[in-house]
Amino acid sequence: MGPNEIPSPLPKTMRALVHESKEKPMAVQQIPTPEAIPGTVVVKVLAAQVDANLPRILNGEQGFPIPQPFTPGARSIGRVAAIGQDTTALKIGQLVMIEPMFCARDEPGNKALFGAYSGVNEATQAWFDKNWRHAAYAEYTRTPLENTWALNEKVLCHRFGYTFAELSHLTVDLVAFGGLRGIHVEAGETVIVGPASGVYSGAGVDTALALGANVVAVGRNETVLKRIQSVFGADRVQIVPLTNDLDTDKTALLEHGRADCFIDMGPPIPIQSSYNTACASVLRDGGRISIMGGMGQPFPVSPMEMLLRNLTIKGQFMYEPCDVRAMIRLVEAGRLKLGKAAGHTTRGNFKLDEVETAFDYARRNKSHGDIIVLEPWRL
């Protein structure tokens, strides 16, 4: 059955990748097809992002709590296949984006990541385990209405020509977009994105440009930085290859003038680098910093420096629902680019039983714009 076909009724069982323990690899199993209960829809999964870090989550290295058995798959594009009785807008067949920032309805501070992370406290983990343990590495998945976003297929697929795999990158863009919106980036401002060469960090360049800002992209991989600049143009994107020498990097950054904002997208592991200190030091008075990564680094500024320079520093875990709406408007208006126009390349489209090959591709292709997806509808 093709990606545009929705069977009626849905089959009683479906194929899904199931993770049963840290000691066993995931395997395709037949499990019950979910039903649409109030507050949810069932989605036929067309393209689910493959994350290079997922194997580390599954084997426990990342330290994320997850239930077992468990079906991963945090970010995906699909079609609505069944609706709950309280659904008012979504229709069967509607193209949708599923984003993973799940919040408990009675306490929005209880947060989990669908298909990746069951939360930090017992209440959130129990809620996740009972309701959301099977995500998008399956033919069908059940999702809350709040996390299932309608996409204009006529515009995105027919006019712009985006594929389902290319559309799945929206779920990556969302992360950086939330950080930028959290510090109120405005058109005409200059934003330092650091580092900027990875899949998620590079999305900071894409989304800052969509908001009308100019970008200074920093990172250790000069080849990727130059490729990003060639896509968007040197009038919008300046690049600074990092040397790991604080004074040298500050001098190179200042050649492009003082910036208004800095979004820190560094890795969550200790690294020997002073990039965040260099980037924070070249902000103008009143500058804003969004902390979305860099947890392996010392804090970039001292309290006294924050005071004297009127700096605002904001931690940002993912994004807010209003950010999702705003980003969808930008992509449907053609302001946020995807696919070739953004320098994105789909490196592989895989079936469920090819997941280990997909993980291998993801490990070898994790630069700005690299896309690897599973397509569960393919047999």
pLDDT digits (tens, 9 = 90+) for 284-322: 999 999 999 866 667 778 899 999 999 999 999 999 999
> Which percentage of the chain shows pLDDT scores above 90?
90
Please report how many Cα atoms fall inside a 13 Å half-sphere around the Cα of residue 65, on the Cβ side.
14
Q: What is the dihedral of CA 21, 27, 28, 33, to 10 degrees?
A: 10
Q: What is the pLDDT of residue 1?
A: 78
Q: If you search the block for the tokens 């990092």, which residue do you land on?
A: 242
Q: Using pLDDT thresholds of 50, 70 and 90, give the confidence band for residue 272.
A: low
> Which percentage of the chain shows pLDDT scores above 70?
98
Please write the tens of the pLDDT for every residue from 12-46.
999 999 999 988 889 999 999 999 999 999 999 99
Max Cα separation, the chain? 65
What 8-state DSSP symbol labels residue 33? P
Per-residue pLDDT, averaged over 251-277, amounts to 87
* Beta-bridge partners for 315: 291
- CA–CA separation, 31 and 11 (whole Å): 11
Q: What is the pLDDT of residue 178?
A: 98
66-98 as b/e, with b when 16 or more CB fall inside 10 Å? Answer: bbeebbbbbbbbbbbbbbbeebeebebebbbbb
Please write the tens of the pLDDT for every residue from 158-200.
999 999 999 999 999 999 999 999 999 999 999 999 999 999 9
Q: What is the pLDDT of residue 271?
A: 64
Q: Spell out the residues 6+ positions from residue 215 whose beta carbon is closer than 8 angstroms to its own.
A: 190, 191, 192, 193, 196, 204, 205, 208, 209, 232, 236, 237, 238
Please write the tens of the pLDDT for every residue from 105-120.
999 999 999 999 999 8
CA neighbor of 19 nearest in space, from 45, 63, 54: 54
Tell me what the pLDDT averaged over the chain comes to.
95
For the chain, domains (ranges, CATH) are 13-169+338-374 (3.90.180.10), 176-315 (3.40.50.720)
Q: What is the pLDDT of residue 268?
A: 66
Q: What is the pLDDT of residue 274?
A: 85
Q: What is the pLDDT of residue 82?
A: 98
CA neighbor of 207 nearest in space, from 171, 260, 164: 171
Please write the tens of the pLDDT for every residue from 43-79.
999 999 999 999 999 998 888 999 999 999 999 999 9
Q: What is the pLDDT of residue 191?
A: 99
